[in-house]
Structures are given as structure tokens and as C-alpha cells.
């Protein structure tokens, strides 16, 4: 989720008196966005203008729930140092449309980072398990979590053929009038295309559906 989407959903929560959603998107989701940005910029550091903008937005949209705290952030000389009360400020309105392509790329990268870290955690457990056993494998040849690590990412310009077929199946099984994908038709088409026994096909289709639903819910 991006900052613009979080602000939009928070606003919808307030306007519909759904304060649970307003708090979720106006505070907790905003913290997740900041944490992710801090994590991906750990090597160069966060940009001061961007993090100041984030603080400003965070203070504005939490004002209805925590007005005194928000006003402190807004007026404090050590933070935003605004001359007037936050009660006189306008609700933040994004001045640019959401770049869906950029957000989809970020979501993909987030998933890739998680996969790498999960693999790393598995290797650490294996390392500790082997280390604790007498007569185990030579630890010098195993993964060392203390050493510096690097990842090389290759970006393909086209899908593999089997993925292209899966995408065409999803398109063919899409029911526009109901805005959904007909799962029964997906299975029939997988059989027809000879992919029903391919263990990669169904997980790819499910991931494709989940990402499409996520983008539809949060980035329109």
C-alpha cells in the first residue's frame, strides 16, 4: 500500500464513521509504509524531505483521533514547527495519480525480499542444527549469517511460455459482468492446454489472482 492509498482509505473510514478502518489506515498502515521505506533505504538512509512529508501527513490524518498529540507534532519547533494549530490545516489531498506500475513492482520486490529472508532463516537453522551435532559437516563450508551478502536480480522482458498460457487462461475465464474469475473454467482450460498436471501452473494463477485483487482494492 502507498501513502496516497492509505490517506484515501482513512478518509473513507472517517466519512463513513468507520473509525476502526480510519485508525487502521491512518495510523497502523502508515507505520508499515514508513518501516518498509526505512528498510529499503538502510544502505543510504531516508530522504529528509520525504520523511518530513510523511510526518506531516501522519499528523494531519490522525488529528480527529489524537488531536492534542497531532497538534504537538505539528507545532513543536523540534518537529514540523508550523506557526498555526493543526486544527486550521487542510486535509491532505494527493496532487498526482497513483503509479500502479511502480506499486506493483514494489509489491513484487517485497515478496522477493521475504522469500530471500525465509530462505536465509532456513539456512541459519540448518547451520545451527549441524553445528550442534558431533561429527557434523564442516561448518566452514556452510552458510555464514555474519558475512556480508548480496543478491543479483535478473528482470525478464517476457513471461515463460507456460506463464503466458496461464495468463491467457485467466483472461478467458474472467467473467466481466460479475467481476470475477470462473475457477471451474480455469480448471477446464488447464486440462485443455495440458497444464493441469504442471505443479507450477495453479500456484502461479492463484498468485496472479491475489495480486490482481490486491491492486484492485487498494490502488484504484
Question: Looking at residue 217, what is its pLDDT?
Answer: 59
Rounding to the nearest 10 degrees, give the CA dihedral for residues 154, 157, 159, 161.
-110
Question: Looking at residue 142, what is its pLDDT?
Answer: 61
Question: Looking at residue 16, what is its pLDDT?
Answer: 92
Question: Looking at residue 126, what is its pLDDT?
Answer: 79
Q: How far apart are CA 142 and CA 130, in angstroms?
A: 9
pTM above 0.85, yes or no: no
Residue 2 CA, distance from chain mean position: 8
Question: Looking at residue 54, what is its pLDDT?
Answer: 92
Question: Looking at residue 183, what is its pLDDT?
Answer: 86
Question: Looking at residue 138, what is its pLDDT?
Answer: 52
Cell 498460457 locates to 165
Work out whether the CA dihedral 44, 49, 55, 58 comes out positive or negative. Answer: negative
Tens of each residue's pLDDT in the chain, 220 residues: 677 788 888 998 999 999 999 999 889 999 988 988 888 888 788 999 999 999 999 999 999 999 999 999 999 999 999 999 999 999 988 777 777 777 777 778 788 888 888 888 888 887 777 766 655 555 555 667 777 777 787 877 888 888 888 889 988 888 888 878 888 888 899 898 888 888 888 888 888 777 666 656 554 4
Yes or no: say if 68 and 84 are a contact pair by the CB < 8 Å rule.
no
- Beta partners for 200? none
Amino acid at each position: 500500500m502507498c501513502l496516497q492509498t492509505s490517506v484515501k482509505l482513512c478518509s473513507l473510514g472517517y466519512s463513513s464513521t468507520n473509525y476502526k478502518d480510519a485508525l487502521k489506515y491512518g495510523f497502523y498502515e502508515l507505520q508499515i509504509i514508513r518501516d518498509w521505506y526505512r528498510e529499503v533505504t538502510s544502505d543510504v538512509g531516508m530522504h529528509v524531505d520525504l520523511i518530513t512529508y510523511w510526518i506531516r501527513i501522519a499528523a494531519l490524518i490522525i488529528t480527529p483521533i489524537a488531536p492534542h498529540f497531532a497538534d504537538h507534532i505539528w507545532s513543536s519547533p523540534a518537529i514540523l514547527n508550523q506557526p498555526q494549530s493543526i486544527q486550521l490545516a487542510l486535509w491532505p489531498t494527493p496532487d498526482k495519480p497513483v503509479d500502479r506500475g511502480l506499486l506493483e513492482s514494489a509489491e513484487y520486490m517485497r515478496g522477493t525480499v521475504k522469500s530471500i529472508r525465509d530462505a536465509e532463516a532456513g539456512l541459519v537453522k540448518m547451520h545451527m542444527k549441524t553445528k550442534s551435532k558431533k561429527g557434523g559437516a564442516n561448518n566452514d563450508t556452510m552458510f555464514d549469517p555474519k558475512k556480508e551478502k548480496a543478491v543479483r536480480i535478473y528482470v525478464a522482458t517476457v513471461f515463460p511460455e507456460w506463464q503466458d498460457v496461464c495468463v491467457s487462461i485467466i483472461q478467458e475465464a474472467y467473467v466481466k459482468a460479475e467481476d470475477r474469475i470462473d475457477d471451474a473454467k480455469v480448471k477446464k482450460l488447464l486440462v485443455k492446454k495440458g497444464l493441469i498436471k504442471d505443479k507450477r501452473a495453479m500456484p502461479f494463477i492463484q498468485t496472479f489472482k491475489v495480486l490482481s485483487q490486491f491492486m484492485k482494492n487498494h490502488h484504484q
